[in-house]
Chain A
Amino acid sequence: MANQISVSLDTNQRITIRTAPNGSLAAPLTWTLQSGDATVEPSADGSTCDIVSGTTATTAVVIPSDGVLNGEVDATITLAVNQATDLGLSADAPVAK
């Protein structure tokens, strides 16, 4: 069963969650942040969702639902958000002034 996944990211990261339901959905999935300070950015059809970490290191829980699923299926995404330890600095190639 892939109704529950746990992922880890830091406060400088985002992650895309994808779905592949094994049957029909009553409605396009909605994605709700149940706890934590992340933000959710669902695709237009609800089949994927980007979760963007917040500024604090905490656990975020996101619930995808078609209005029926959560009644019988506990679909949950748990994110362990860690404080960023890497600024992710990078440099483009030098260019002429």
Chain B
Amino acid sequence: MLRWLSKIFGITKKSEIEGKFVLRGSDLVLVLNRTIKHKSMQVDVTFSNAKVYDINRIDVKLGEKFFLTTNGDGSEDLFSDNDPVLDITTNGTQVSLTASKVGMSRLKWINTAGTGVIKDVVITVMDNILPPASDLGLTADSAIPK
């Protein structure tokens, strides 16, 4: 039981489980007294020239190829809500992506039991990624009466 709860919810100690078994109809149900947070997962991104750890949101240029790596066990299910934006190939804990269309896609990893989202990452595909402005290019029109 502890191993099962640990895998799904990240519980590691018996003391973290407080509750009782209740008979509901013909089902024996374990009612826990506390709210359990789903175990979170880390996702790292690797580009051709950089690796960034523990991401939640990234912007990438159209056409960019990159990889996501999770610290899960590879049994999690991955879903995205805007497929045309990204070409996605999953292989265990590694995900290969190509930014194929301008737009935004949210990737969600669901735990093995299918009971909760353990990580979501928002990826925005843009025509271009501009560096921060250093020059505002200020100009003034001609003065006119108020």
Given A12-B145, A12-B146, A53-B146, do A17 and B133 touch, yes or no (CB 8 Å)? no
* Residues of A17-66 contacting chain B, CB below 8 A: 17-26, 29, 52-53, 64, 66
Contact yes or no, A23 B130, CB < 8 A: yes
Contact yes or no, A68 B138, CB < 8 A: no
Count of A-B contacts with CB under 8 A?
Answer: 90
**B136 CB to closest chain A CB, in angstroms?**
5
Interface residues, chain B, CB within 8 Å of chain A? 129-146
CB-CB under 8 A from B132, the residues of chain A are: 23-26, 68
CB-CB under 8 A from A73, the residues of chain B are: 134-136
Task: For the complex of A and B, list the 6 residue pairs with the smallest distance between their C-beta atoms, beginning with the closest.
Answer: A20-B137, A23-B133, A21-B133, A9-B143, A24-B130, A13-B143
**A41 CB to closest chain B CB, in angstroms?**
11
Contact yes or no, A64 B136, CB < 8 A: yes
Q: Which of A2, A16, A52, A88 lies in contact with B137, CB distance below 8 A?
A: A2
Alpha-carbon distance between A4 and B138 when the two chains are bound, in angstroms: 7
Interface residues, chain A, CB within 8 Å of chain B? 1-5, 7-10, 12-26, 29, 52-53, 64, 66, 68-69, 72-73, 75, 77, 88
Give 10 pairs: A residue, B residue, CB < 8 Å, sorted on A: A2-B135, A2-B136, A8-B143, A14-B144, A15-B143, A19-B139, A22-B135, A25-B132, A26-B132, A68-B132
CB-CB under 8 A from A23, the residues of chain B are: 130-135
Q: Which of A8, A9, A17, A24 lies in contact with B138, CB distance below 8 A?
A: A17
CB-CB under 8 A from A22, the residues of chain B are: 133-135, 137
CB-CB under 8 A from B143, the residues of chain A are: 7-10, 13-15
